[in-house]
Structure formats: structure tokens, C-alpha cells
């Protein structure tokens, strides 16, 4: 199983549903609450100028109506995860995270 699919499964477990979308197309109608995630970049670690480890960085967006959802903290507690910022759009709360996985 790829690490991306493994991350998606962990996110489904945290959310308690299968409303987890990887790079969804614009015409997809998402069901809320949900987590949308995309590949954002990566980090290569070197030893003697030779790459020995690469970690992909993903941007996660948790979207929900409840501003006090416990999922907000559960995502933030994932190893390598950093909470970036919240915002509200279309009466939905969006919580942005970055995770190396």
C-alpha cells in the first residue's frame, strides 16, 4: 500500500467516515464534514551530499460546520503535522494543516 493511501485511511479513521478526498476535481460535490488533501511538496534529507530520505508534504483541509469539532485536535496530533490557519467560507469552517508523511 502506498504511503498516500495509508494517510488517507488514517484520515478516514480520524473523521469516522469515508468523506476523505485526494485532489478532488472541481466538479465533485463533497459531503461535509470532510477532509480534502493534496500533495504540496517534499523534503529531502542529505548525508555527504547524497539524498537518503525523502518525505512528501501534504496540505490537509478539514471542512465542517461545527467550529468545536474534536477532529480539529485529532488531526493536529498526527506525527509530523502542523496546524496552519483556520478560515470560514460559505458558512463552513476550514482548518488548514501541513503534514510530512
pLDDT digits (tens, 9 = 90+) for 74-83: 999 999 999 9
Read off the pLDDT band of 48 (50, 70, 90): very high
Q: Which residues pair with 29 in a beta bridge?
A: none
Best CA proximity match to 96, nearest among 65, 56, 60, 42: 60
Provide the residue range defining the domain that includes 93.
3-100
pLDDT score, position 37: 98
90: left (phi over 0), alpha (psi -120 to 50) or beta: left
Composition of the chain by helix, strand, coil, percent to 5:
20, 50, 30
pTM, to two decimals = 0.91
* % of the chain beyond a pLDDT of 70: 100
80: domain CATH number is: 3.30.2000.30
Grid cell 501534504 is found at 58
Number of domains present in the structure of the chain? 1
DSSP 7-43: HHHHHHHHHTSS-EEES--TT--PPSSEEEEEEEEEE
Amino acid at each position: 500500500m502506498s504511503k498516500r493511501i495509508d494517510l488517507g485511511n488514517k484520515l478516514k479513521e480520524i473523521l469516522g467516515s469515508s468523506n476523505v478526498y485526494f485532489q478532488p476535481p472541481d466538479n465533485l460535490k463533497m459531503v461535509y464534514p470532510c477532509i480534502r488533501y493534496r500533495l504540496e511538496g517534499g523534503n529531502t534529507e542529505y548525508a555527504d551530499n547524497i539524498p537518503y530520505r525523502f518525505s512528501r508534504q501534504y496540505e490537509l483541509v478539514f471542512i465542517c460546520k461545527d467550529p468545536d469539532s474534536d477532529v480539529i485536535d485529532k488531526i493536529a496530533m498526527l506525527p509530523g503535522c502542523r496546524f496552519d490557519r483556520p478560515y470560514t467560507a460559505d458558512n463552513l469552517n476550514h482548518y488548514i494543516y501541513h503534514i510530512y508523511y
